[in-house]
């Protein structure tokens, strides 16, 4: 490989690409907004929130989403901060939660997990966390809403470990909570960051101390809270986990920060620490071995396809994570699956609602490509020797419906529409055998409605959906004869892989006990 241009190397090394994972209402939007604010990418609060009611990207089927007050655009936001180029990947969290959200995590090099101090670890956080865990990316935790009364911090850490199976290292520790919230003690830098109600914490107000025992703390926050802090910090020092960069890098230990996003408290400290600890773009697996991000040759993969972002054009946008080298507008790349060269003429980046044409980008960045119908999730684009990145995983849907066309005369359009729309990746398609019935699986039920609407609007096809009682899908691997013996009970995914559907965890456990020669995978990763 030829020597990389040192300027590119610098550009790539300063990139930090991450996704924020949380349960709805934990504060993801608020946090994103504050981060963008620090990066100077927005000038006022409310700009990110505005996306939830965006008038911009309206089309009829998005109208469904709009009515429910859900964000419609979903993409990447980027900004420069203290010598870093930051890409935040948006992970839709409300009713529009879909498999896309999981897949977006495959394009992230790190994850930020936001937990509401009062609610602890919630359902959607668990699901998203599992995907991050599977990929072994580092996970940083921000415990939010310390200005409200919530769970005891020790109880929260215990919950994180018990429910998520990850150990934690509190980087700072709260001094009081709710109406007594006075600030945080920074264990790493031995300083106290003071919380003052009513301020927006434009400037961080902290003072250095000599450990938690420093009487200065008592002078500022009162004797009682100081005593409590000393007790808790000494307990942490004795009984807590040690700081271990290697475990953090592997996603086995999560650094934990406490703060209040809405009050802008602890956010900048979090960001500064995060940038120190989070990894730059790392090598990615392909069928030609690991691909070095610093390689001279451009490459990337499509991780998300979004339809109709601009209703006037009825176009699709394919989101590409650049994994190596440099992208330049107008460059010619190999579309490996199609075995064709294509020209990337009008790539875009997204900032809140606005599209902006990009001229150059580097490994770590995400760009949107106008898609005339040539891209599929998981497609690799590269320059030079052709190779393909690992296949994009599918994850277990939670809702299933049988789908049929109402008018048998429209069978052809129906097949075409179903194939094309499920290619976008928010709805999975399964086939029963020997009846060849079609079953759709989704992570969020809204996707059924969206699909129904789009089949009508874009293909002129009316469908009938019949909900099925399944809740879980498992990809089967192992003894072929044993899998074949289950024939009537299994369906196949769009690639013909055997999948079994279950109505409950109990059913799944029974099947696992009964068929010990078969592996039941939660996702199709690596199959
Ligand atoms: P998302 O659904 O995760 O994007 O959550 P949002 O950022 O929209 O926040 C949900 C609600 O929690 C909103 O009403 C926010 O104003 C509120 N919120 C966010 N951060 C804080 C915080 O630090 N303290 C308090 N008290 N409320 C917060």
φ/ψ (deg, to 5) at 136: 70, 30
Q: Is the dihedral of CA 324, 330, 334, 335 positive or negative?
A: positive
- In this structure, the answer to whether residues 369 and 504 fall within a common structural domain is no
E-assigned strand segments in 96-144: 110-116, 139-144
Three-state DSSP state, 104: helix
Structure token digits, residue 447: 């996707």
Tell whether 57 is covered by a domain: no
Ligand 1, closest atom to CA 148?
A: 26
Distance between CA atoms of residues 301 and 367, nearest Å: 10
Q: What's the farthest any 2 CA atoms get from each other in the chain?
A: 82
Tell whether 55 is covered by a domain: no
Tell whether 46 is covered by a domain: no
Tell whether 387 is covered by a domain: yes
Distance between CA atoms of residues 91 and 87, nearest Å: 13
Q: How far is the CA of 32 from the centre of ligand 1 (A)?
A: 11
Whole-number pLDDT of residue 55: 34
Q: How far is the CA of 223 from the centre of ligand 1 (A)?
A: 31
Please name the residue whose Cα sits nearest to atom 24 of ligand 1: 145
Residues of the domain holding 178: 109-277
Whole-number pLDDT of residue 352: 45
Distance between CA atoms of residues 338 and 342, nearest Å: 10
Tell whether 39 is covered by a domain: no
Please name the residue whose Cα sits nearest to atom 19 of ligand 1: 27
- In this structure, the answer to whether residues 431 and 309 fall within a common structural domain is no
- In this structure, the answer to whether residues 331 and 256 fall within a common structural domain is no
Whole-number pLDDT of residue 56: 35
- In this structure, the answer to whether residues 189 and 317 fall within a common structural domain is no
Q: How far is the CA of 145 from the centre of ligand 1 (A)?
A: 8
* 28 annotated ligand-binding residue: yes
- In this structure, the answer to whether residues 264 and 124 fall within a common structural domain is yes
Number of structural domains in the chain: 3
The ipTM assigned to this model is: 0.99
Whole-number pLDDT of residue 354: 57
Give exposure, 139-156, as e/b (b: 16+ Cβ within 10 Å): bbbbbbbbbeebbebeeb
Neighbours of 494 (CB within 10 A): 13
* 105 closest CA partner among 268, 325, 267, 319: 319
Structure token digits, residue 234: 């000494």
Q: How far is the CA of 26 from the centre of ligand 1 (A)?
A: 6
Last residue of a domain, one of 261, 277, 293: 277
Q: What CATH number does residue 159 fall under?
A: 3.40.50.300
Q: How far is the CA of 517 from the centre of ligand 1 (A)?
A: 47
Structure token digits, residue 264: 């802008």
Whole-number pLDDT of residue 102: 86
Q: What CATH number does residue 486 fall under?
A: 3.30.70.3280
Please name the residue whose Cα sits nearest to atom 26 of ligand 1: 145
Tell whether 49 is covered by a domain: no
Q: Which of 197, 262, 263, 268 most suits a substitution to test ligand 1, by most atoms within 8 Å of the C-beta?
A: 262
- Residues of the chain short of pLDDT 70, as ranges, are 1-3, 41-75, 93-97, 198-204, 308-315, 350-355
Tell whether 119 is covered by a domain: yes
> Tokens 């271990």, residue?
244
Q: Which residues line ligand 1 (CB under 6 A)?
A: 22, 24-30, 93, 144-145, 147-148, 260-263
Whole-number pLDDT of residue 61: 40
Neighbours of 127 (CB within 10 A): 18
């Amino acid at each position: 490989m030829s020597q990389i241009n040192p300027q590119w190397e610098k550009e790539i090394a300063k990139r930090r690409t991450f996704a924020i994972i949380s349960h709805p209402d934990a504060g993801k939007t608020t946090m994103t907004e504050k981060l963008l604010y620090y990066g100077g990418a927005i000038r006022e609060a409310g700009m990110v929130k505005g996306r939830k009611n965006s008038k911009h990207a309206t089309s009829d089927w998005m109208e469904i989403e709009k009515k429910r007050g859900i964000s419609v655009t979903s993409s990447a936001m980027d900004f420069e901060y203290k010598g870093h180029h930051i890409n935040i990947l948006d992970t839709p969290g409300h009713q529009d939660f879909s498999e896309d959200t999981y897949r977006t995590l495959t394009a992230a090099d790190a994850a930020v997990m936001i937990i509401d101090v009062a609610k602890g670890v919630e359902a959607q956080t668990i699901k998203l966390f599992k995907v991050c865990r599977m990929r072994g990316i580092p996970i940083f935790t921000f415990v939010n809403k310390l200005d409200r009364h919530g769970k005891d911090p020790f109880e929260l850490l215990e919950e994180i470990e018990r429910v998520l199976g990850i150990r934690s290292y509190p980087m700072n520790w709260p001094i009081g909570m709710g109406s007594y919230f006075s600030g945080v003690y920074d264990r790493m830098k031995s300083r106290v960051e003071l919380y003052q109600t009513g301020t927006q914490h434009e400037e961080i107000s902290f003072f250095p101390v000599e450990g938690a025992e420093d009487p200065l703390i008592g002078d500022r926050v009162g004797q009682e809270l100081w005593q409590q802090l000393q007790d808790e910090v000494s307990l942490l020092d004795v009984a807590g986990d040690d700081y271990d960069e290697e475990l953090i890098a592997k996603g086995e230990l999560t650094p934990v920060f406490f703060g209040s996003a809405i009050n802008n408290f602890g956010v900048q400290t979090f960001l500064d620490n995060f940038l120190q600890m989070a990894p730059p773009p790392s090598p990615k697996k392909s069928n030609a071995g690991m691909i070095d991000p610093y390689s001279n040759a451009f490459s990337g993969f499509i991780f998300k396809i979004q339809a109709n972002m601009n209703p006037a054009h009825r176009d699709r946008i394919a989101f590409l994570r650049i994994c190596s080298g440099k992208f330049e507008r107008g460059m010619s790349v190999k579309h490996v699956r199609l075995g064709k060269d294509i020209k990337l003429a009008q790539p875009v980046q997204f900032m809140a609602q606005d599209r902006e044409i990009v001229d150059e980008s580097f490994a770590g960045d995400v760009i949107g490509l106008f898609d005339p119908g040539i891209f599929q999730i998981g497609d690799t684009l590269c320059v030079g020797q052709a190779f393909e990145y690992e296949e994009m995983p599918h994850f277990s849907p939670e809702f299933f419906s049988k789908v049929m066309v109402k008018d048998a005369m429209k069978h052809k359009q129906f097949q075409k529409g179903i194939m094309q729309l499920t290619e976008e990746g928010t709805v999975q398609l399964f086939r029963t055998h020997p009846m060849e019935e079609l079953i759709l699986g989704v992570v969020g039920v809204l996707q059924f409605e969206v699909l129904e609407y789009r089949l009508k609007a874009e293909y002129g096809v009316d469908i009938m959906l019949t909900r099925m009682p399944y809740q879980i899908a498992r990809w089967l691997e192992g003894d072929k004869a044993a899998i074949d013996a289950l024939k009537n009970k299994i369906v196949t995914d769009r690639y013909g892989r055997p999948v079994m559907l279950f109505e409950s965890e109990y059913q799944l456990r029974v099947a696992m006990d009964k068929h010990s020669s078969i592996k039941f995978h939660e996702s199709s990763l690596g199959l």
